[in-house]
Chain A
């Protein structure tokens, strides 16, 4: 249930009065404790310096693409790494006067840890690094901060130059390595070229042309050969049908021709004359003679054939057709022989060409590989050569302190006023705590306590009639005790405030005297 503000205040005052001793005690204790704390609290002086780190310079656009300036990303982290390194810290120990008492190494370690704790490095702007150092001694705070800035700048520049040098060295080394590789590739290519003369680019196409020409020739010749053979067969067939010699039956023919003539004379004569006419009788005799002669001839021929000898007689003459065919045949035969020889030759050449082709192909693969190696190496080498020159320029930039502009923007000054929580803060804090803690506790008690401490709780929560809220009836003795108690408490508060005021003013005066 939400309390009305007036109800709440009334409960709070009642409770505060009820627990007045505790309230006053807390007030006094809180004030005195914060006062003590304020007196004992170490004073701290903070010196700070700002360093401008600028790497976008006039040189950069000029060298665009050629030189790569080292990028300083997250400068404060970088600065922290650099400054808190052992090298700079040792230097600081020496320069800021920490080593006056000759501390042991472990003590030095502690001092360094403390220095790191008290040093704050932040990025205040895009290119600004702020170094703050807090110390009880203003002189030492100033010295340390100053040395921080100086050492950081020196270290940064050196580091950058070293980085450029290292980059150049690396690229240079790589360039040398690729140069060696490129030379080797060139050598290999030369050796291969001299070893495989026919492995020229384009020889493959020549071989192809030759091969196809040879194949065409073989096909042509084969066709011609078949044609010639067909012709030969045909001639031979014709030749077998022809007689070697034309055994013309000339005598018998002559006889028969005579007989014919005689027959026609006879026929003519018979038209006019009787068979007894002398001419007719003579012609008849003649025909008979001729028939006899034919029979005789035939008889001889049969005999000769049976005996197996050619009877060449006056009537035998050479067959002209046969002669012709024979001539043709021999002609064809010559043709066949020529063609066969040509085909064989062409085939041999073909085999040679195929072998050559194979050789050329193998050589070409090797050549391509060698050429590729060579080209790749050549490209990388050329690139590296360019890069090496860029790196050389970058290195020179850093050597000339041109790449990174780093300077002290705001130098450290001797701090005159202490920083951090001031004495007055403790005093005010004591008063606030002295009032706040009791108030908070009372508030918590009112909020948390479920016990009945107001009349409305009975009427509203228990729904019971409330007769009255009876305040405590103070007897005179009690009242006197309360008066005395309140007086003492009042005096305690006054005394606390006086103590706080006195100690505070003394402290402030002491600070001013210093």
Chain B
């Protein structure tokens, strides 16, 4: 992390660098969304556009931590470091240009959504870049449930209703420079949607609109459905998530072969159960206080 970036983060958290004051946490009304998403014809300078992005009320650190979403202040956290590393590697590969990256897992419950979300968050750390998450996992739309608890329109609605505007499905999630296209309604046959021309148009559209916007697709696990392959065709790159201690080398190799060397950016070994940084000394020297503190804390939260 560069010094500049650190300084920016610090300033941002201190509230010194607010170019645009955050809007009231108003419900997503149609005119408002229309207003924040510029029309494709309007080619604004990127930094201005980013600065003008209207954000929902930002989520607090506690909420982010609870939802296992990284934020820049966790600089010393190993997970945050890992995501920064991934981001750097991707940027090296794309030479800084934006792209569509599909994140898929070898098996179900492999932490694919976790990786996609945090990868998006990592891209959004940088004040000069934005990220757009697209939840393509129709069967198990975990991004939507985590980031947008309320029912909103999403990808399926957009694909099913040609008259719908793109701006209607791009939502702010309370994290700076991070947007989400939720999956929308639950659908059983995603292949039809992925093969449609509208889907291709959509991806082209969102990629081309802003040069700093990185599109991250949360795809279903590879071994559970063939839809992922179709989706991979539409994307520039793919990232394969291998959950720690759950898949074999041959499974990973098979998935990598399907994705192909050109598309595959690399494999992420996810959810390594490394011991966390905790107060071991406190546990060893004063275990009762740990339990007592926890109890009082729990009572307080109640």
Nearest neighbor of B256 in chain A, beta-carbon distance: A464
Closest approach, in angstroms, between the C-beta of A450 and any C-beta of chain B?
A: 5
Cross-chain contact B245 with A451 (CB below 8 angstroms): yes
In chain B, residues 103-158, which have Cβ atoms closer than 8 Å to a Cβ of chain A? 111, 114-115, 118
Cross-chain contact A458 with B290 (CB below 8 angstroms): no
Neighbouring B residues of A491 by C-beta, 8 Å: 287
CA distance A246 to B3 in the complex (A): 200
Cross-chain contact A476 with B65 (CB below 8 angstroms): yes
Cross-chain contact B267 with A471 (CB below 8 angstroms): no
Cross-chain contact B266 with A465 (CB below 8 angstroms): yes
Neighbouring B residues of A450 by C-beta, 8 Å: 248-249
CA distance A453 to B111 in the complex (A): 15
Cross-chain contact A470 with B82 (CB below 8 angstroms): yes
A13 within 8 A of B: yes
Nearest neighbor of B282 in chain A, beta-carbon distance: A483
Cross-chain contact B287 with A451 (CB below 8 angstroms): no
Neighbouring A residues of B265 by C-beta, 8 Å: 465, 467
A470 touching B272 in the complex, CB below 8 Å, given contacts A457-B249, A483-B283: yes
Cross-chain contact B267 with A462 (CB below 8 angstroms): yes
Tally of chain A residues near chain B (CB < 8 A): 39
B99 within 8 A of A: no
Neighbouring B residues of A490 by C-beta, 8 Å: 283-284, 287
Interface string of A438-469 (1 = CB under 8 A from B): 00000000000111111101100110111111
Closest approach, in angstroms, between the C-beta of B299 and any C-beta of chain A?
A: 13
Cross-chain contact A458 with B269 (CB below 8 angstroms): yes
A18 within 8 A of B: yes
Cross-chain contact B82 with A469 (CB below 8 angstroms): yes
Which of A449, A465, A468, A484 is packed against the most chain B CB atoms within 10 Å? A468
Cross-chain contact B253 with A462 (CB below 8 angstroms): yes
Closest approach, in angstroms, between the C-beta of A492 and any C-beta of chain B?
A: 11
CA distance A112 to B256 in the complex (A): 74
Nearest neighbor of A454 in chain B, beta-carbon distance: B269
Neighbouring B residues of A487 by C-beta, 8 Å: 283, 287, 290-291
Neighbouring B residues of A13 by C-beta, 8 Å: 275
Closest approach, in angstroms, between the C-beta of A507 and any C-beta of chain B?
A: 28
B66 within 8 A of A: yes
Nearest neighbor of B275 in chain A, beta-carbon distance: A17
Interface-lining segment among B11-19, B83-91, B159-167, B183-191: B83-91
Neighbouring B residues of A506 by C-beta, 8 Å: none
Neighbouring B residues of A482 by C-beta, 8 Å: 276, 278
A510 within 8 A of B: no
Query: Which size class do B's interface residues fall under?
Result: 35 or more
Cross-chain contact B66 with A476 (CB below 8 angstroms): yes
A512 within 8 A of B: no
Closest approach, in angstroms, between the C-beta of A350 and any C-beta of chain B?
A: 121
B102 within 8 A of A: no
Interface string of A459-501 (1 = CB under 8 A from B): 0011011111111111111011011101110110000000000
B199 within 8 A of A: no
A17 touching B273 in the complex, CB below 8 Å, given contacts A452-B245, A464-B264, A487-B287: yes
Cross-chain contact B270 with A470 (CB below 8 angstroms): yes
Cross-chain contact B86 with A472 (CB below 8 angstroms): no
Cross-chain contact A464 with B266 (CB below 8 angstroms): yes
A472 touching B290 in the complex, CB below 8 Å, given contacts A450-B249, A466-B266, A483-B278: no
Interface string of B190-233 (1 = CB under 8 A from A): 00000000000000000000000000000000000000000000
In chain A, residues 41-74, which have Cβ atoms closer than 8 Å to a Cβ of chain B? none
A452 touching B252 in the complex, CB below 8 Å, given contacts A464-B267, A482-B276, A483-B278: yes
A449 touching B245 in the complex, CB below 8 Å, given contacts A17-B274, A468-B82, A482-B276: yes
CA distance A243 to B276 in the complex (A): 179
Closest approach, in angstroms, between the C-beta of A441 and any C-beta of chain B?
A: 15
Closest approach, in angstroms, between the C-beta of B56 and any C-beta of chain A?
A: 21
B95 within 8 A of A: no
CA distance A461 to B256 in the complex (A): 13
Cross-chain contact B67 with A469 (CB below 8 angstroms): no
Interface string of B274-302 (1 = CB under 8 A from A): 11101100011001001100100100000
The 8 Å CB contact of A475, one of B66, B246, B290, is B66
CA distance A218 to B290 in the complex (A): 150
B242 within 8 A of A: yes
The 8 Å CB contact of A452, one of B239, B249, B278, B279, is B249
Neighbouring A residues of B85 by C-beta, 8 Å: 467-468
CA distance A385 to B291 in the complex (A): 102
B10 within 8 A of A: no
Closest approach, in angstroms, between the C-beta of A365 and any C-beta of chain B?
A: 102
Cross-chain contact B269 with A469 (CB below 8 angstroms): yes
In chain B, residues 48-92, which have Cβ atoms closer than 8 Å to a Cβ of chain A? 62, 65-68, 70, 77-79, 82-83, 85-86, 89-90
Which of B79, B256, B268, B274 is packed against the most chain A CB atoms within 10 Å? B274
Neighbouring A residues of B244 by C-beta, 8 Å: 452-453
Nearest neighbor of B62 in chain A, beta-carbon distance: A476
CA distance A400 to B230 in the complex (A): 110
Cross-chain contact B82 with A484 (CB below 8 angstroms): no
Neighbouring A residues of B284 by C-beta, 8 Å: 490
Neighbouring A residues of B290 by C-beta, 8 Å: 483-484, 487
Other than the given A17-B273, A468-B269, A483-B290, 5 more pairs (CB < 8 A) read A452-B249, A470-B83, A470-B86, A470-B115, A473-B114
Q: Which 10 A-B pairs have the closest CB atoms?
A: A467-B266, A465-B266, A473-B79, A468-B82, A471-B274, A18-B273, A453-B245, A487-B287, A470-B82, A469-B269
Q: List 11 A-B contacts (CB under 8 A).
A: A14-B274, A18-B245, A449-B245, A451-B246, A453-B245, A458-B242, A461-B249, A468-B83, A470-B272, A472-B272, A487-B291
